[in-house]
Chain A
Amino acid sequence: MSEEQIKNLEKQFEERIARDEKIEPKDWMPEKYRQTHIRQMSQHAHSEIIGMLPEGNWITRAPSLRRKVALLAKVQDEAGHGLYLYSATETLGISREELYEQLHTGKAKYSSIFNYPTLTWADMGAIGWLVDGAAIINQVPLCNTSYGPYSRAMIRVCKEESFHQRQGYEIMMKLANGTPEQKEMAQDALNRWWWPSLMMLGPTDDKSVHTAQSMKWKLKRKTNDELRQQFIDQTVPQADLIGLTIPDPDLKWNEERQSYDFGEINWDEFWQVVKGHGPMNKERMRARINAWECGEWVRDAAMAHAEKKQQRKQKQAV
């Protein structure tokens, strides 16, 4: 195709998206659109998969059967989210094996929030409430994104997320209304998860490289800073309600903006964690690669069994 023709196709393509038309897998798309979507969607899928590790850590130690079935169901949902997103990414012409390869070699990223440890039971509350809460804020606009398979996967994901956040908040509420030790445990979890949750919504707008293009393709509808403000404004009253304190001395209501002003985020910490120097980066990758490698004989055996069954069927048919 000539450069002129490609320019033309690109123009038509951008117009389709501007008209709110969806792009489907077999449609022509600019190479950059394909690559950007593979990057963002796979990063999203990897986050769902790695995100199971910090919570999986507490399933066997859940304090009651009610908490255990809920946490188990939540972690299972995250596995489902990973699978919806991987298969949606595969429609762009990349294989599951390549996607795993990118995760395991560190070429692909996942959300940096999962590189923090889960030290107490209250962390299950804080993660559901804050991390899933921030994820929902990120994900709801994606239900209308331009790439059909991504948008459909996100609609399914968003339907399942609200229970995740509610079960987390319920854990926090129970602890905050419990003994002084329990309340302290809840406060400690909030102290540790608050700032990483704010970072989860991405670098500030002036530092964010992808925003303009992503807006055009509806991979983003609001900027990182807008999403962060929305998250803070909705979460602060929830903390007040259960008597916990947001660990930010500069946090205060701004009457004029009708929003909370908040303190400086430690972006050095964020970039350190992104670059692999967070408290749990190595452990997360070790656990993930270990699960993949130790599962290899199971995958091979299943394949061998399937082939044997197939051959037996063919013999009977003769």
Chain B
Amino acid sequence: MSTKNWPLWEIFVRSKNGLEHRHFGSLHAADAEMALENARDVYTRRNEGVSIWVVESKHITASNPENNGELFEPAQDKVYRHPTFYDLPDEVKHM
């Protein structure tokens, strides 16, 4: 049995310039450099990307779904943040 296992890395790929990096999945690697190399082989065998980010999974802080109420519900009743909330006469064009 190995003394130390390779840590887990989260892989983000930009599929083409102009688009954001998107989470593609994860993999194990000894360090960041190897994570990049492995990510190339695992997640971009068919030109899926032009840029890769790797982040060791333990560095990601995630919100807890149990707190979704207090985190996200306050946005639900703020209809005035949407353009459809405002009444304008039909004659107004392009607004």
Which B residues are CB-close (under 8 A) to A156?
25
B25 touches A88 (CB 8 A): yes
Task: Determine which of B5, B41, B46, B65 lies in contact with A27 in the assembled complex, contact meaning CB atoms within 8 Å.
Answer: B65
Point out the residues of chain B lying under 8 angstroms from A24, CB to CB.
Answer: 65
**Interface check B59, CB cutoff 8 A:** no
* A2-31 contact mask (Cβ, 8 Å, vs B): 1 or 0: 000000000000000000000010111000
Measured in the bound complex, the distance between the Cα atoms of B26 and A190 in whole Å is 38
Stretch at the interface among A200-208, A232-240, A264-272, A297-305: A297-305
0/1 interface trace, chain A 276-318, chain B, CB 8 Å (1 if under):
0000000000000000000010011011011001100000000
| Number of B interface residues in the complex (CB < 8 A) | 22
Asked if A97 lies at the interface with its beta carbon under 8 angstroms from chain B, I say yes
- Residues of A within 8 Å of B45, CB to CB, are 73, 76-77, 80
Q: Are the CB atoms of A96 and B28 closer together than 8 Å?
A: yes
Q: Count contacts on A: residues with CB < 8 A to the other chain.
A: 29
Q: Is the CB of B30 within 8 A of A87?
A: no
Instruction: Indicate whether A153 reaches chain B with its CB closer than 8 angstroms.
Output: yes
Asked if A303 contacts B65 (CB within 8 A), the reply is no
Question: A90 near B: Cβ within 8 Å?
Answer: yes
* A135 within 8 A of partner (CB): no
A303/B25 contact (C-beta < 8 A), A26-B64, A76-B45, A309-B31 known: no
Q: Determine the residue in chain B with the shortest Cβ distance to A84.
A: B25
Q: Does A83 contact B (CB under 8 A)?
A: yes
CA distance in complex: A153, B26 (Å): 11
A90 and B65 CA atoms in complex are apart in Å by: 19
**Nearest CB of chain A from residue B39's CB, rounded to whole Å:** 10
Q: Are A303 and B62 in contact (CB under 8 A)?
A: no
Residues from chain B with a CB closer than 8 A to the CB of A310 are 31
Interface contact A302-B26, CB-CB below 8 Å: no
A189–chain B nearest beta-carbon distance, Å: 27
In the assembled complex, which residues on chain B have CB atoms less than 8 Å from the CB atom of A80? 41-43, 45
Q: List 11 A-B contacts (CB under 8 A).
A: A28-B65, A83-B27, A84-B25, A84-B42, A87-B25, A90-B8, A160-B46, A302-B30, A305-B30, A306-B31, A309-B31
What 9 pairs across the A-B complex have the smallest Cβ distances?
A306-B31, A302-B30, A306-B30, A87-B26, A303-B4, A303-B30, A27-B65, A83-B42, A26-B65
Additional 17 contacts, C-beta under 8 A, given A24-B65, A88-B25, A90-B8: A26-B62, A26-B64, A28-B66, A73-B45, A76-B41, A80-B41, A83-B27, A87-B27, A95-B5, A97-B5, A153-B25, A299-B2, A300-B4, A303-B3, A305-B30, A305-B31, A306-B30
